[in-house]
Amino acid sequence: MAAIRDAIHGNITLNGLEERIIDSAEFQRLRRIKQLALTYMVYPGAVHTRFEHSLGTMHLASSICDVLGIEGDEKEKIRLRALLHDLGHVAFSHESEYVLHEVLGDHEKVGERKIMGGELGKMIGENYPAGEIFSKKGGIGGEIISCDIGADRMDYLKRDAHHIGVAYGIIDTDRVIHTMADGNGKICIERGGLEAAESLLIGRFLMFSTVYLHKTVRIASAMLNRAIRRAVDSGALRHEDFLDAGDEEILLSLRGIKESAEYAGAIINRRFYKQAFVASDLHPLLENPAHAEEELSKKCGCDIMIGMPNIPAQPSGFMVRGKDGMASIFEASELVSALLAAEERRRNAIIACPEKYREEVGKKAEKYFSK
C-alpha cells in the first residue's frame, strides 16, 4: 500500500491499481485544472486542483463504505468511481462546460468516454469489467459519492474553504459519516448527526454566497465564457482541444486568437468588467441571457455581459432517521428550510460592462429590467 499526504485528510492510502491510475497521463492532467477555475483572481489561495479533490473524494467515500459495512470488490469499485468522478473535466471545469457541453456532453459523459476508450479502461479491466464503474451510478454507491452529504461535496467544501482561507467549510465530517445509514439504497443520517449535517449545509450556503457566486468571480467567468465561445465559433479552437489541455494552456491559446484575445488578455491582467446593475435571475428577459446581452449592448453602445448564477444552488435533500421514523431534512430541520428560502432570495444576475460606461449602463439596465 502506498500513501499520499493530503492537506485536508492526512495520509490517503492507495492500492496498486489506484496508484497506477493516479500515475497515468489522463489523471495527472487534473493537476493542471484548478478546482475553482478563476476564483484565484479574487481569493489568491484558490489554486488547488481537481487532482487532490479526486483523492480526497475517494478517501471519504472509503470511510463511508466502512461505516455502511460495504467491503471487498464493491468497496473497491466505489473507491475507483470516486477517484475518477472528475476525470472528464475539461480546462476550466464547469465554466467552460457551459459553452462546450452541447458538443462534448457533461464531464461525466466525457470521463466515461475517456476511461472506456483509453489506457485507464484497460487498467481497470485487469481487475473488473470497466463498464461496472459506470453501470451502477444510482443506488448506494452513487449516493456515497454525490448526495448532498456525500464524499464529493464534503471534500470540496472543506478543501475550498481551507485554501481560500474562510471558516465556512469547517465541517465535522467524522460525525456526519459515522451517523450515516443505508435507507433503502439512499444515504440517510441518524438523528444524532443532524446538527453536523446542518453545519455542512450552512457552510455550503455561505460558500455559495461569498465565494462561488462572488460578483467578481462571476464577471471573470462570463468574460472567459465569451472568449471561449468566440474562439470556438471562429474555428481557431476546437471543442476537442479542451479535452487534453489544462487551464493555463487554454488561456494562453485564447490570448493568441484574434476573436478572443481582448477578453483573455483582460483576464490575465485582471482588468475585469465592472458590475453596473443587478437583476433577478428569474426576470422574463433573462430566459435568453445572450439575447438580453445583445439588446443591452445596442441600447448602451458598449459591450455588455450578464453573469448568471450558473452553479446549481438548490440541495436535493436527504432523509433523517429518528425514533418516529424517516423524515426529509427539510422537515426535520427548520434551519435548512430557512436556508433554502434564503438561497432563492439571493439568486441574481449581474450586468457588467467596461468601467467607464458603468454609471450609464446602470441607468439603462434599470430601465430595461423594469419592463
195-245 pLDDT, tens digit each: 999 999 888 888 988 899 999 999 999 999 999 999 999 999 999 999 999
Q: Is residue 196 within 8 Å of 176, Cβ to Cβ?
A: yes
pLDDT score of 195: 93
Q: What is the pLDDT of residue 312?
A: 57
Residue ranges of the chain whose pLDDT lies below 50: none
How many other CB atoms sit within 10 Å of the CB of residue 143? 23
**Which grid cell sits at 225?**
465564457
Radius of gyration of the chain (CA): 22
Query: Which residue matches cell numbers 438548490?
Result: 314
pLDDT in tens, 324-333: 888 888 888 8
CA 73 – CA 162 distance, rounded (Å): 33
**Letter for the amino acid at 181?**
A
Say how far apart CA 85 and CA 340 lie, in whole Å. 27
d(CA 199, CA 287): 34
pLDDT of residue 278: 96
Domain boundaries, the chain: 2-212, 273-309+347-371
pLDDT tens digits along 62-89: 999 999 999 999 999 999 999 999 999 9
CATH superfamily of domain region 2-212 = Hypothetical protein af1432 (1.10.3210.10)
Element (H, E) at 220: helix 215-233
pLDDT at 361: 97
pLDDT at res. 177: 97
What pLDDT score was predicted for residue 101? 87
- Cβ neighbours around 122 below 10 Å, total: 11
pLDDT of residue 135: 62
Output the CA torsion sign for 75, 76, 82, 88: negative
Contact call for residues 58 and 12 (beta carbons, < 8 A)? yes
Residues whose CB is less than 8 angstroms from the CB of residue 368 and which lie 6 or more positions away in sequence, other chains included: 285, 292, 295, 296, 299
